[in-house]
C-alpha cells in the first residue's frame, strides 16, 4: 500500500496543495519564452487536453499556436483544424513558415460527428497537433477526449468560450485569453498540471503577420495526394 501511495504522490497529475510538483510529462514548448516561463518551462502538454478560453475569436489565439504549427508541420506532422469559426487565411500561414501540405481542415455536421472525428485525429500516429472549436461540451465528452489524447500522445488545444472557465475539466492546461488595448494578448493560467495556477503574462502580437480569421481565396483542406514520390 505504501508503494502505491508513493507512486500516486509522485504522479504530476495528482495535485498536491502543500507543495509545488515539477511534472515530467512530455510536452512541446510554446515558442514564447515569457509564456514557457509561466508554465514552468513545460509548454503545451502532450497526451493531454489544453483549453484556451475566450469571449471572441480573432484576438490573437492563432499567434499563440503559430510557433508550434511551424515546428510540427516542418517535421512532417499533421495539424488538424476541426470546425474553425471561419476559413484560415492560408497565405499568411505560409508566409509564417507553416507547411500547408501538413494542414488539414475538417468540418463536421453535428456534435456526435465532431467527437468521433476529434477522437480519431487524436489517436492517429500522423497527428502532431489538433486545433478544435467544439462549442458546447459535456464533462463526460471532455473526459472521453482526454482518454483519446492520452492514447495518441500529441497536442490537442480546444478553443472554448470563457463562460466554461468554471466548469470542471480534466484538461491538463487551461488558459484564459483576452485582448489588450496595445495589440497584445493577455494570458491567465487557470490550471496547469503539477503546480499552482494564477500566472499571468502578455504577448505582443503587433509585429506578426495578420493571422486573424478572414475569408481566403484558397481553402486549406485535405488530405492531398502525395506527389513527392
The torsion angle over the Cα atoms of residues 110, 111, 114 and 119, rounded to 10 degrees, is -150
pTM confidence score: 0.80
DSSP 99: -
| All structural domains of the chain with their residue ranges | 26-204
pLDDT tens, residue order, the chain (229 aa): 556 555 544 454 454 444 444 546 788 999 999 999 888 888 999 999 999 999 988 888 998 999 999 999 999 999 999 999 888 888 889 988 999 999 999 999 888 999 999 999 999 999 999 999 998 888 888 888 988 988 888 999 999 998 888 778 888 999 999 998 777 899 999 998 766 777 888 888 754 555 555 444 344 444 444 544 4
Top CATH class of 26-204 equals alpha beta
CA distances from 6 to 11, 18, 98, 116, 174 (A): 9, 16, 44, 37, 27
Amino acid at each position: 500500500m505504501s508503494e502505491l501511495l508513493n507512486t500516486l504522490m509522485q504522479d504530476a497529475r495528482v495535485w498536491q496543495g502543500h507543495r509545488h510538483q515539477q511534472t515530467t510529462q512530455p510536452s512541446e514548448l510554446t515558442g514564447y519564452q515569457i509564456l514557457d516561463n509561466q508554465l514552468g518551462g513545460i509548454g503545451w502538454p502532450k497526451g493531454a487536453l489544453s483549453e484556451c478560453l475566450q469571449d471572441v475569436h480573432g484576438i490573437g489565439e492563432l499567434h499563440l499556436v503559430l510557433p508550434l504549427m511551424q515546428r510540427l508541420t516542418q517535421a512532417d506532422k499533421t495539424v488538424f483544424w476541426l470546425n474553425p469559426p471561419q476559413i484560415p487565411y492560408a497565405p499568411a500561414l505560409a508566409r509564417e513558415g507553416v507547411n500547408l501540405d501538413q494542414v488539414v481542415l475538417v468540418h463536421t455536421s453535428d456534435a456526435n460527428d465532431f467527437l468521433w472525428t476529434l477522437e480519431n485525429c487524436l489517436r492517429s500516429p500522423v497527428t502532431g497537433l489538433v486545433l478544435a472549436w467544439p462549442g458546447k461540451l459535456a464533462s463526460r465528452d471532455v473526459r472521453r477526449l482526454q482518454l483519446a489524447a492520452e492514447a495518441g500522445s500529441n497536442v490537442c488545444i480546444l478553443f472554448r468560450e470563457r463562460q466554461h472557465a468554471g466548469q470542471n475539466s480534466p484538461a491538463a492546461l487551461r488558459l484564459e485569453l483576452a485582448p489588450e488595448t496595445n495589440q497584445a494578448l493577455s494570458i491567465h493560467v487557470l490550471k496547469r498540471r503539477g503546480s499552482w495556477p494564477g500566472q499571468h503574462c502578455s504577448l505582443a502580437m503587433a509585429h506578426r503577420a495578420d493571422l486573424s480569421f478572414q475569408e481566403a481565396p484558397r481553402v486549406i483542406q485535405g488530405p492531398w495526394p502525395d506527389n513527392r514520390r
